[in-house]
Chain A
Amino acid sequence: MIFLRRQLPLLITFVAGVVFAAQYYVPHPTSELMLTEVTKWLQIISGFALVLGVTSLFHIHAVKIRRKEPGWAYSLILYGGILGTIAAGFSYSFTAGQWVNGKETINGIVTAFGWIYSDMMVPLQGTMFAILAFFIASAAYRSFRARSREAALLLIAAIIVMMGRVPLGEMLLPVSGDVTQWILNVLNAAVRRAILIGISLGAVALSLKIIFGMERAYLGGGKE
C-alpha cells in the first residue's frame, strides 16, 4: 500500500517526465504518434482538472448557506448564477428548433445561453476590470513620486511611454513616439529578456526536481 500511495506516483512522474522530455529529440513517426496520443489525453484530463478547480467554490458557499453565515444570501445568488447558466446551457431553443448544448448562437440566432453570456458575463467581467482604470489614475497621482533616482527614472519612462502611445501625446511632444519605440524595443526588451532567462532557468530547475521526485508539493497536502 505504501508503495502504491507514495512510490508509484513518483515513479509515474519520473517515467512520464523522462519519456516526454526525450521525445523532443526523437523525430521518428513512432515517437510523434505517441506524442499525439498522449497530448490528446492530456487535453481531456485538463478538462477534468478545470471541473476540480470550481468544485471547491461549490463547497465553500454551500457551507456558508448551511450555517447562515453573514452574507449567505450572496452565496445563494452565486448558486443561482451557476444553476441558471447551466440550465440555459442545456435548454431547448424554440426559435432555433434544437437543443442549445452550450452554443451561444445557433445559425445566427442567439440562445438563452448566449444571452446570459453577452448580457451578463461580458458586462460584469468587463466592468470589474474597468474599475482598474480609476485606480491606476489614483495610484499615479498619489504614489508616483520622484523619491529617489530609481523612482524618478521609472516616472520619466512611464510619462514618455504614456505620451508616445496616444495621438495627442505625439502631437504635443513629437519625439515621444520614437523614444517610446526605442524604450520598448531596446531597454524594455533587454530587461524582459533577462527576466525571461532567469524565470526559465527556474522553471527548468523546478521541472527537473519534479521529475526526480525532489519537489512533491503538486501531490497535494503533506499528510500521507
Chain B
Amino acid sequence: MTFAERMLHIDRRIIFLVIGVCTLLPLLYPVGLAIKVSPEVRGVHDYIESLPEGSVFLLSMDFDPASKPELQPQAVALLRHAFKKNLRVIGMTLWVTGTGLADLVVSQAAQEMGKVNGKDYVFLGWSPGVGSLIITMGQDLYKAFPSDYNNQPTRELAVLKGIQTLRDVNYVVSLAAGTAGIESWYVYGKDKYKFELGGGCTGVIAPGLYPLLRSGQINGLIGGLRGAAEYETLIGQKGRAVAGMDAQSATHVAIIMLVILCNVFYLLIRTSRGQSGQPRG
C-alpha cells in the first residue's frame, strides 16, 4: 500500500477528532469575524420593520430539539425584533416534540422584553394535523385552538382581539426543520388566506426552498445558523448564532482542506496506477 492509499484509508476516528477540535477551540477562544447580510434574510427583517405597531405576527416554530441549535437562535432574534416593534405576537408549533422548546423560547423572549402573556403575546402550543390544522386556523382560529398553551380560552385573550382567522394575521414566519413547515404554511395557508409569509429553516432543507423564494411564495428565507447570525447582526443583538459562526468557519475550512487532501491523494494513486499499467479503481 502506498502512502497515498494509506492516507485515504486512514481511521475515520482521526477525522472525527480533527472536527471535534476545530469546533471546540473557536468556542473557547472566539475571534468574531464580520458577517455579511444576504438579501434573503433582509427580506424577512425589512418586512417586520415595515409593519406598523399592533400588527399581528405569527411565529410557527416547526422544529424539534434536533434542530434547536440552528432554529432557536432564529426564533429568539425574530421574537426580539417583533417585541421591539410592539407587534402582537402569536407563537405556535406544528411539531409535537417541539412544544416545550417553543414555549421556552417565547416566554423567555417575552420576559426579557417585558411583555405580558395574553396581552402582548400568546403561545398557542401544538395541535395535530399540519395541513388540516392550518386550514382550520384559516377558517376559524378559535376552532383550531379553543384554548392556549396555558389553558386560557383563546376567545377572551386581549392579544387576539379582532383576529378571527389567518386572514387577519399580517405576517407569518415558519421556522422549519422539515416538510411540515414552510411548504405546509404556503400550500394550505398563504395560498388561500393571503397573509404574507416568510421562512426560516435548517441548512438541510434550505436549498429546496429557493424555488418558493424566487417565485415570491415566501418573501424571505433565513437559512441555518448563518441566517440566524445575519438576523442577529441586523437587529444589533448578537447572540448564540454569531458566537457559533467562528466555529462554523473553522470546521468548514477544515472540511474543505480534507476534501482537497482527499483529491490530492486520489490523483496521486490514479497517476501512479496509470504509469504501472494497473486497471483503474
Contact = CB atoms under 8 A, between A and B. Distances in A.
Q: Are A and B close enough to touch in the complex, i.e. CB under 8 Å?
A: yes
Contacts of B246: 167-168
A207 interface: no
Interface in B62-77: 64-69
A90 interface: no
B171 to A, nearest CB: 23
Contacts of A168: 33, 246, 249-250, 252-253
Nearest to A189: B210
Interface stretch (A3-11, A43-51, A57-65, A208-216): A43-51
Nearest to B266: A145
A169 B127 CA distance: 42
Contacts of B248: 165-166
Contacts of A144: 259, 262-263
Contacts of A189: 210-211, 213-214
Contacts, number: 185
A204 B127 CA distance: 27
A54 to B, nearest CB: 11
Given A126-B68, A184-B207, A166 B252 contact: yes
B99 interface: yes
A206 to B, nearest CB: 16
B100 A114 contact: yes
A137 B132 contact: no
Contact of A166 (B97, B149, B226): B226
Nearest to A102: B99
B55 interface: no
Contacts of B249: 166-169
Nearest to A114: B100
B33 A137 contact: no
A87 interface: no
A162 B266 CA distance: 21
Interface string A75-89: 000000000000000
Given A141-B262, A144-B259, A50 B252 contact: no
**Nearest 8 A-B pairs (CB), nearest first?**
A168-B249, A43-B129, A167-B33, A36-B139, A42-B132, A104-B100, A39-B132, A189-B210
A141 B279 CA distance: 23
A40 B136 contact: yes
Contacts of A165: 224, 226, 248, 252
A19 to B, nearest CB: 14
A118 B139 contact: no
Contacts of A112: none
Interface in A122-148: 122-126, 128-129, 133-134, 136-138, 140-142, 144-147
A20 to B, nearest CB: 10
A121 B205 CA distance: 23
A136 B19 CA distance: 10
Contact of B135 (A35, A140, A159, A162): A35
Interface stretch (B8-16, B46-54, B79-87, B155-163): B8-16
Interface in A23-53: 32-33, 35-36, 39-40, 42-44, 46-47, 50
Contact of B96 (A50, A192, A196): A50
B66 A125 contact: yes
B210 A188 contact: yes
B107 A108 contact: yes
B253 A166 contact: yes
A5 to B, nearest CB: 27
A205 interface: no
A43 B133 contact: yes
A50 B94 CA distance: 13
A137 B15 contact: yes
B100 A118 contact: yes
B24 interface: no
Given A141-B15, A145-B266, A167-B33, A46 B132 contact: yes
